[in-house]
């Protein structure tokens, strides 16, 4: 059989004289990652058509494309298309990892991100949008939707920065910081790599949610805890290098400087009113990230060994999903166990791993559940307990509910231990 390359990475294997072929059927589907940073441009003709038809109230609805995408379209598509089911075999991993096409897909996100941020700033502040069919500017319903939509591309941008920031290449690390500038989350580059990956699935990690902890409790704990941790990590690094904390090489400070320059430039170009737009989009963007943080490790706990140290992170310490649409949208973020096992591995080579606990649907479908604690716990608490065979003592329980949870589930844990 001839070796072919049909829009995909292919390889020839010959175990026992049999020729096998594998191809990445998602190769060009990864361009779906550019939907978020281009969506605002795509809906402009629809806005004009609605205004020309006299449907002026409906004409602002497309400006809500970001929330529509996150809460409606992606969950629906995940349900329709279901799990992926394809893992790259060992024999193609090196070739797939070194195929530069995949990294160009992530690089392309950044210019579109900034183009959309600038377009959004213009639409938010403009007083004359006759070319779109508006009588004056966009009303406040449209402005809020616009800011939230740009917040979505900022949140997805943090995930793009997450992919770039794990790499050893200096250019990709700087691109990661540039991507984070929109949301003032440049410190994520430090805390995620050197904090979260070390402390994941332990009570000491601010980005690992605890059993019984609501998202609204987790959000400030993760935001402020991660900020504090990133600063401490950089201070210690600079101290070891014999430099003061307030030094230009402090990666927290130079990342924040990028945000300051971006926001300052937009304010100079569009006026003080643009700061409302930027603040809404930034807060919503990093809140989306923290929502994903919340669901990725909820209730999971690495046990301590006889030496008193935590066991190594394994596939069982991250919630996963292999739903293909959200995986394409988020560069395989849902194959989270493999990411923690191999942090520098590029997204196209991440695998769905045996032994990893799985969510009932994709991340996009689960995000809205996190906002309603009763619904979230109804869906997830029994899954956490089942993952640990009913043994609540192996669960990362929130201190606020520890006594109540132990009283409720302790007998089951004792019975499990005796069995």
Q: What mean pLDDT, rounded, does the chain reach?
A: 92
Tell whether 6 is covered by a domain: no
Instruction: Identify the burial level of 104 via C-beta atoms within 10 angstroms of its C-beta, where 0-12 means exposed, 13-18 middle and 19 or more buried.
Output: exposed
CB neighbour list of residue 299: distance below 8 Å, 6 or more residues apart: 209, 210, 211, 380, 381, 384, 395, 396, 397
Convert the pLDDT of each residue in 316-332 to its tens digit: 999 999 999 999 999 99
Same-domain pairing of 397 and 363: no
Contacts of 418 (CB under 8 A, 6+ apart): none
What percent of the chain lies above the pLDDT cut of 90? 89
User: Do residues 298 and 319 make contact, with C-beta atoms less than 8 angstroms apart?
Assistant: yes
Same domain as 73, residue 96: yes
Distance of CA 235 to the CA centre of its chain: 26
- Matching residue, tokens 């998202």: 215
Residues 271 and 360 in one domain: yes
Do 175 and 89 belong together in one domain? yes
291 and 407 co-located in one domain: no
**Confidence (pTM):** 0.92
Quote the domain boundaries for residue 398.
389-418
Is residue 286 located within the same domain as residue 308?
yes
Assess whether 285 and 414 both reside in one domain: no
The stretch 206-226 carries a mean pLDDT of: 98
Dihedral (CA of 104, 110, 111, 113) sign: positive
Q: Write down the pLDDT at residue 23.
A: 87
Pairwise CA distance, residues 366 & 407, whole Å: 28
Asked whether 175 and 148 are in contact (CB, 8 A), the reply is no
pLDDT tens digits, one per residue of 225-271: 999 999 999 999 999 999 999 999 999 999 999 999 999 999 999 99
Query: 411 pLDDT band (50/70/90 cuts)?
Result: low
Q: Which residues in 299-317 are b (16+ Cβ under 10 Å) and which e?
A: bbbbeeeeeeebeebebbb
Would you state the pLDDT for residue 412?
54
Indicate the pLDDT class of residue 85, thresholds 50, 70 and 90: confident
Helix/strand/coil for 13: strand
Asked whether residue 325 falls in the same domain as residue 412, the answer is no
- Which residues are registered as beta bridge partners of 358? 320
Domain match, 337 and 406 both: no
Residue 394 and residue 355 share a domain? no
Q: Are residues 366 and 395 in the same domain?
A: no
Q: How many domains does the chain have?
A: 2
């Amino acid at each position: 059989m001839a070796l072919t390359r049909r829009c995909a990475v292919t390889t020839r294997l010959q175990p026992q004289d049999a020729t096998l072929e594998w191809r990445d059927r998602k190769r060009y589907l990864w361009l779906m990652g550019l939907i978020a940073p281009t969506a605002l441009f795509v809906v402009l003709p629809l806005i004009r058509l609605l205004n020309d038809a006299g449907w002026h109230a409906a004409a602002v609805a497309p400006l809500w494309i970001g929330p529509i995408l996150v809460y409606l379209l992606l969950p629906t598509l995940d349900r329709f298309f279901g799990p992926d089911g394809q893992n790259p075999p060992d024999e193609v991993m090196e070739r797939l990892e070194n195929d530069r096409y995949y990294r160009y897909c992530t690089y392309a996100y950044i210019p579109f991100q900034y183009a959309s941020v600038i377009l959004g700033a213009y639409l938010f502040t403009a007083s004359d949008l006759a070319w779109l069919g508006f009588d004056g500017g966009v009303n406040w319903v449209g402005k809020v939707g616009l800011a939230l939509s740009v917040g979505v591309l900022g949140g997805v941008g943090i995930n793009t920065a997450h992919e770039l920031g794990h790499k050893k290449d200096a250019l990709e690390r700087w691109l990661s910081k540039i991507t984070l500038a929109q949301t003032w989350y440049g410190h994520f580059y430090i805390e995620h790599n050197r904090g979260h990956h070390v402390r994941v699935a332990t009570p000491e990690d601010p980005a690992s949610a605890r059993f019984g902890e609501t998202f609204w409790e987790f959000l400030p704990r993760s935001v402020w805890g991660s900020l504090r941790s990133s600063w401490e990590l950089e201070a210690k690094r600079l101290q070891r290098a014999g430099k003061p904390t307030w030094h230009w090489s402090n990666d927290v400070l130079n990342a924040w400087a990028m945000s300051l320059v971006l926001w300052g430039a937009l304010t100079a170009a569009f006026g003080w009113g643009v700061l409302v737009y930027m603040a809404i989009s930034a807060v919503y963007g990093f809140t989306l990230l923290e929502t994903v943080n919340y669901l990725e490790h909820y209730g999971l706990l690495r046990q301590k060994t006889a030496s008193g140290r935590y066991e190594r992170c394994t596939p069982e310490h991250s919630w996963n999903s292999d739903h293909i649409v959200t995986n394409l949208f988020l560069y395989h973020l849902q194959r989270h166990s493999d990411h923690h096992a191999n942090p520098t591995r590029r997204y196209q080579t991440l695998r769905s791993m045996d032994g990893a606990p799985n969510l009932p649907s994709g991340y996009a479908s689960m995000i809205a559940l996190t906002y309603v604690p009763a619904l979230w716990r109804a869906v997830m608490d029994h899954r956490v307990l089942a993952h640990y065979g009913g043994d609540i003592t192996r669960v990362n329980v929130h201190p606020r509910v520890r006594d109540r949870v132990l009283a409720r589930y302790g007998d089951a844990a004792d019975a499990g231990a005796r069995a």
